[in-house]
């Protein structure tokens, strides 16, 4: 089903939703297991977090954020079309709007996460 190409925005929106959903599901499995360590083995948890904070970990972190943000925005698009069916006529425009929001929200987060991997201080400071 994933490989039967039908083309255009609707099919790509669906395929990305499925791929990002499975990716986030895989991370949820990992994430409940690592949080389990906070109670069971705090020292091991701290070691795992150092892997997450490594440059490779930050790439994975960014990919997770991208999957999460795409899935969230496209999920909103699906809900809009489900409960306001006339919007289905604009499903392509809604998908383009998703990508605009994806870039606007995602870029600052990407820079914040990746800066330490290149030896820079994180640009936004909150504490």
Partner 1 sequence: MGYNVTRSGRAKPQGGGWELVIWYLMRLTGLGLFVTALGHYIIVHFLFDPSEQTAKWITDERWGNIAWRTVDWLMLTFVVFHAFMGLRTVVQDYTTGGVRTLLTMGLYLGAIVLFAMGTIVVATLQFPTP
CA 39 to CA 17: how far, in whole Å?
A: 34
Q: Nearest distance from residue 76's CB to partner 1, in Å?
A: 6
- Minimal distance in Å, beta carbon 119 to partner 1? 14
Residue in 2, 38, 35, 4 with CA at minimum distance from that of residue 21:
2
**From CA 83, how far away is CA 117, in angstroms rounded?**
43
DSSP per-residue codes, 32-81: HHHHHHHHH-HHHHHHHHHHHTSHHHHHHHHHHHHHHHHHHHHHHHHHHH
Q: Is 124 in the site for partner 1 (CB under 8 A)?
A: yes
Q: Does 66 contact partner 1 by CB under 8 A? A: no
- At CA 23, angle to CA 61 and CA 102, rounded to 5? 60
For residues 118 and 36, the answer to whether their CB atoms sit within 8 Å is no
Binding status of residue 21 toward partner 1 by CB under 8 A: yes
* 45 lines the binding site for partner 1 (CB under 8 A): yes
Binding characters for partner 1, 72-111, by CB under 8 A (x = yes): x-xxxxxx-xx--xx-xx-x----------------xx--
Q: Which residues bind partner 1 (CB under 8 A)?
A: 1, 10, 13-14, 17-18, 21-22, 24-25, 28-29, 32-33, 35-39, 42-43, 45-46, 49-50, 52-53, 57-58, 61, 65, 68-69, 72, 74-79, 81-82, 85-86, 88-89, 91, 108-109, 112-113, 116, 122, 124, 126-127
């Amino acid at each position: 089903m994933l490989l039967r190409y039908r083309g255009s925005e609707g099919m790509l929106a669906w395929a990305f939703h499925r791929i990002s959903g499975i990716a986030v599901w895989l991370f949820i499995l990992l994430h409940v297991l690592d949080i389990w360590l906070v109670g069971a083995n705090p020292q091991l948890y701290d070691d795992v977090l150092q892997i997450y904070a490594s440059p490779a970990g930050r790439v994975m972190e960014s990919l997770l954020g991208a999957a999460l943000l795409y899935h969230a925005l496209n999920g909103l698009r699906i809900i809009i079309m489900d409960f306001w069916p006339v919007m289905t006529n604009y499903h392509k425009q809604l998908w383009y709007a998703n990508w605009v929001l994806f870039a606007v929200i995602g870029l600052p987060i990407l820079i914040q996460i990746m800066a330490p991997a290149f030896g820079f201080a994180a640009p936004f400071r909150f504490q």
